[in-house]
Amino acid sequence: MCHEKNARIPCTIMKHKALAEGVYELVLEAPGIVGEAKAGQFVNLYCKTGGKLLPRPISICETDREEGLLRLVYAVVGSGTREISGYPEGDQIEVMGPLGNGYTLDQGARHVLVGGGVGTPPLVELAKRLSGEKVIYLGFRTQPYLVESLREYGPVHVATDDGSQGHKGTVLELMEEHQVTGGMLYACGPTPMLRAVQAYALAKGIPSQLSLEERMGCGFGGCVGCVCKVRAEGGEGFAYKKVCKDGPVFDGKEVLLT
């Protein structure tokens, strides 16, 4: 085991621009991280000011191993992401990762990928790494993003809450309408969407992998702060698992989204 490996690495911001209202693309020079990264893993970003000490976990959206570039896409939702959105290109930000388990790449012939809002980013690296046919379903509140990036890998179906693009309503309605099936369903998004995807997959008899979010104290398994519930081994009740270390991707048959 390599000792005293540096956990927080300052990375240079190569590109930083808005993709949609309040949604930013952040490209970092991070050869060490992209060399190891798997689809569905995440990195911790650290703020610099305002007494904000805890990590901001952000999914790996895409990696470019040749150039050593890490692409992240995040939404401004609070003070940390607001601060980060102000970092100019050429500036540095501290990053830890890759963290978590990531998606298991199914060897089957057809994959269904489902993203909701800022759950969409990890689907890009996932789509890139999966061989076989891919069909992609995305849900947004309003303005969609990353649709073009994903279209390279398969047909993309979009739903928006306000009907500004694609189907007006939820991504699940769209999936029901298409009666979509495949060998594996991969999803990332808000809990209500994951719950609906989980139920859909169970009803259709499709195995699923769901990527969860939880508030994190460390991101690497040190604090037991980020738990979710999974079915207890042998049936009755539940056990807590760490989202950062045992996840963020869980088997849809096991995880209990309460």
Partner 1 sequence: MRMEVEIAGVRLKNPVTTASGTFGSGREYEPYVDINRLGAVIVKGVANKEWLGNPAPRIAETYGGMLNSVGLQNPGVDAFMLEDIPFLRRFDTKIVVNIAGRTVEEYCEVVEKLRDADVDMLELNISCPNVKEGGVAFGIDPKMAELATREVKKVARQPLVVKLSPNVTDIVEIAKAVESGGADAVSLINTLIGMRIDARKRKPVLANKIGGLSGPAVKPVALRMVYQVAKAVDLPVIGLGGIMTGEDAIEFMMAGATAVSVGTANLLDPGATMRILDEMEAFLQENNIRDIRDIIGVVE
Ligand X SMILES: Cc1cc2nc3c(=O)[nH]c(=O)nc-3n(C[C@H](O)[C@H](O)[C@H](O)COP(=O)(O)O)c2cc1C
Annotated binding site for FAD: 56-59, 80-81
Q: Which residues contact 52 (CB under 8 A, 6 or more apart)?
A: 79, 80, 83
Out of 170, 225, 231, 254, the residue judged to bind partner 1 by CB under 8 A: 225
Convert residues 183-222 into a mask of x (bound to ligand X by CB under 6 A) and - (unbound). ----------------------------------x-----
Q: Which residues contact 237 (CB under 8 A, 6 or more apart)?
A: none
CA distance 179 to 74: 31
CA distance 162 to 93: 35
**In Å, what is the CA distance from 140 to each residue of 115, 145, 163?**
9, 9, 10
CA distance 91 to 58: 18
Can you tell me which residue has the tokens 């060897």?
Answer: 107
Question: To 10 degrees, the CA torsion angle through 132, 190, 64, 96?
Answer: -140
Q: What is the DSSP letter of 201?
A: H
Output 132 or 225, the one with its CB closest to ligand X. Answer: 225
The size of the interface with ligand FES (CB under 6 A), counted in residues, is 13
Does 223 participate in binding partner 1 (rule CB under 8 A)? Answer: yes
Out of 28, 43, 244, 255, the residue judged to bind ligand FES by CB under 6 A: 244
Out of 77, 109, 202, 223, the residue judged to bind ligand X by CB under 6 A: 223
Does 254 participate in binding ligand FAD (rule CB under 6 A)? Answer: no
* DSSP helix/strand/coil, 107: coil
Does 249 participate in binding ligand FES (rule CB under 6 A)? Answer: no
Does 182 participate in binding ligand FAD (rule CB under 6 A)? Answer: no
Does 149 participate in binding ligand FAD (rule CB under 6 A)? Answer: no
**Least distance to ligand FAD, CB of residue 59, Å:** 3
The size of the interface with ligand FAD (CB under 6 A), counted in residues, is 21
- Give the residues lining the site for ligand FAD (CB under 6 A): 42, 54, 56-59, 73-75, 77-81, 118, 121, 213-216, 248
- Give the residues lining the site for ligand FES (CB under 6 A): 216-219, 221-226, 242, 244-245
